A and B are shown apart, each in its own frame.
Chain A
Amino acid sequence: MSVLAPEGRQPENRQDPASNHTVEPPSELAMWLSDGWTVTKRNLTKLKRSPDMLVFAILQPIMFVLLFSQIYGGSIQVEGSDYTQYLMAGIFAQTVIFGSTFSGSAMAQDLKDGIIDRFRTLPMSSSAVLIGRTNSDLVLNALSVIIMMGTGLLVGWRVNTSVSSALAGIGLLLLFSYAFSWVMALLGMSVKSPEVINNASFMVLFPLTFISNAFVQSQTLPAPLEAFANWNPVSALVQAVRELFGNTGTVPVPDAWPMQNALLTVLIGVVLMLVIFVPLCIRKFASISSR
């Protein structure tokens, strides 16, 4: 029969093992920066090591640009602009929005794998995992935008404004997608499995991006859909990016306020998303655990 306790244990005489490695806790800000970076690095390493994910992230934008411009380009007419010029901002917006859903499925996956439990038992900054998540998805989205712009240039799309406007356009796409990542991260922490995020985002985001001015003019839609499209934040993003890239041509802009003030609408939307969802995410993170 077995021995109960290992022999020779003398708790009184031991040195405190915790003393070997315990360091003074760093300041909150230093901790936040360093923890956020550690988790970002972890996520990017993961991206680098899963070639399938990376290939998908690169090929999908190329495919969308080519499919839409080459297939629909011949039959869809936009009054006042060449379709390829008109289309690109729509594809950019749709792709980065779908890119942000990755924040949700990745949070759900980490939760399922128990990694979140590991993180939550470490004395790290309470927002670091979320910061790391949204940061690395921003990197992925930036990569997508660069690839799409390159492909777009190959099929004849052009930026007709200045370099600074073009950069502002890229910045706006990424800013919007970053804020949207927080929305998706909250969803990711609230669902039971990562698949739910993929299915749900498909069901919600396809209508949201299609019932907009991304691929057609909202004026061509049936009345209720037209109203929806004009007030759809995706339309505001697309319109603002079109303006910044100088792709509007002489296409008439709908009278709806968000369409007339597209840039402002997008900025308001971004601020709202961040103000609401960052605190909600941090609060949610403090109580989640696997299974």
Chain B
Amino acid sequence: MTIIEAEGLKKTYSSKSGPVHALDGMNLSVPQGTVKALLGPNGAGKTTVVKILTTLIQPTAGRAQIDGIDVLRDPKAARRIIGVSGQYSAVDENLTGFENLEMVGRLYHLGASASKRRARELIDQFELTEAGNRPVKGFSGGMRRRIDLAGALVNNPKILFLDEPTTGLDPRSRLSLWGIIKDLVRDGTTLLLTTQYLEEADQLSDDIAVIDGGKAIAEGTADQLKAQIGGHRAVVSLVHASDAASAREILGRHGDGEPLVGDDGRSIEVAVSDGPRALQYILSDLGESGIELHDAGMRRPSLDDVFLTLTGRHAEDAGSTDASTQKETAA
């Protein structure tokens, strides 16, 4: 059963330089009990989609339903079944972790004792005991994120929305948050998540939609996307730029598709399907040809590779080349 369904969503803001299309005909469909990741660079429209589906803003055109509720017509009913954790931890700095969660429970109208009980449950579940009784002010970013995420779960939401849940976190906090999110979705909560990291989408989601210019430009499982862009990358960095042509030929022999030469003329990479083995062959052939290397290694495919393959542009250029991708959310 499809639990999130959006059709032809458009969101246009007026700006001094003319209308800005934050969303330009976005379609989205998420089956119940699955995890969908919206993958795209800054300004692609990911946050705008989440804001529309979570009743924060109204689209210029299109329709959106969650669990059979028309989000645009009946936002209050929608709010009862969703949980939202945004890009910036929406916790009150002056309240303790416990008070934050209890307040959210009260505003879900759980009643006094149930709100307290639920807050305590979440504090235990998220190992927030330390933050439970002290004002949030002064806690680390990772801890705030966890409190914010806990706040999104107070009502045991049917559908959870996480907007860039790990942006700005250090690698350790990121891993720990991934673990929490994986546990959450294991029991079948539907999750819509936005991210700029292919690896995050890969780790957490069943299905990925790549977003660019306010619409989905590709959809599929992580495997399907990776098949499209190739798997890991073998990367070598040459000592002499003059070796580039012969090195390129060697990489092409062992990789899938065309090797790419970097702007500096010394770094060359190619998608490889059988990982380290291809790198071994590449290194041995380069050695036989007497080509000297600064560096060599494997790299996981990134959002940038997805983008380059799908649009011919780098992800970081997306914002500047496309008028529709300025600031995602002028309020």
Contact = CB atoms under 8 A, between A and B. Distances in A.
A158 interface: no
Interface in A236-291: 287-291
Interface in B97-122: 99, 103-104, 106-111, 114, 118
Interface stretch (A13-21, A65-73, A162-170, A222-230): A13-21
A198 interface: no
B80 to A, nearest CB: 5
Interface string A183-221: 000000000000000000000000000000000000000
Interface in B176-231: 182, 185-189, 199, 202-203, 205-206, 221-223, 231
Chain B CB within 10 Å — which of A113, A122, A290 has the most?
A122
A287 B59 CA distance: 11
Contacts of A1: 231
A161 interface: no
Contacts of A123: 76-77, 79-80, 107-109
B125 interface: no
Contacts of B79: 121-123
Interface stretch (B49-57, B249-257, B306-314): B49-57
Nearest to A26: B109
Interface in B115-158: 118, 135, 151, 154-158
A18 B155 contact: yes
A94 B89 CA distance: 37
B188 A9 contact: yes
B188 A11 contact: yes
A254 to B, nearest CB: 45
Interface stretch (A31-39, A77-85, A146-154, A171-179): A31-39
Contacts of B155: 18, 21-22
B35 interface: yes
Interface in B41-89: 51, 54-58, 76-77, 79-82, 84, 86, 88-89
Given A4-B222, A42-B95, A123-B108, A17 B186 contact: no
Contact of B103 (A16, A20, A38, A117): A38
How big is chain A's contact interface, by range? Answer: 35 or more
Nearest to B80: A123
B327 interface: yes
B203 A2 contact: yes
B244 interface: no
Contact of A6 (B58, B77, B107, B185): B185
A55 interface: no
Contacts of A16: 158
B92 A289 contact: no
A170 B163 CA distance: 48
B33 A14 contact: yes
B86 A117 contact: yes
A118 B158 contact: no
B186 A18 contact: no
A23 B95 CA distance: 25
B104 A114 contact: no
B134 to A, nearest CB: 10
Contacts of B91: 115, 118
Interface string A108-150: 0000011101111111100010000000000000000000000
B12 interface: no
A118 B185 CA distance: 21
B94 interface: yes
A148 to B, nearest CB: 26
Chain B CB within 10 Å — which of A11, A34, A42, A46 has the most?
A11
A290 B86 contact: yes
A25 interface: yes
B90 interface: yes
B329 interface: yes
Contacts of B118: 21
A128 to B, nearest CB: 8
Contact of B108 (A2, A6, A122): A122
Given A45-B94, A49-B135, A123-B77, 11 more contacts: A11-B32, A17-B189, A23-B109, A50-B94, A118-B91, A120-B56, A123-B79, A124-B109, A287-B57, A288-B331, A291-B328
22 contacts: A4-B205, A5-B206, A6-B185, A8-B186, A11-B34, A12-B33, A17-B156, A19-B156, A21-B108, A35-B107, A42-B95, A115-B92, A118-B84, A118-B91, A121-B84, A123-B77, A123-B80, A128-B107, A287-B57, A289-B56, A291-B328, A291-B329
Interface of A: 1-2, 4-6, 8-14, 16-23, 25-26, 31, 34-35, 38, 42, 45-46, 49-50, 113-115, 117-124, 128, 287-291
Closest 5 CB pairs of A and B: A11-B33, A14-B188, A118-B90, A114-B90, A123-B79
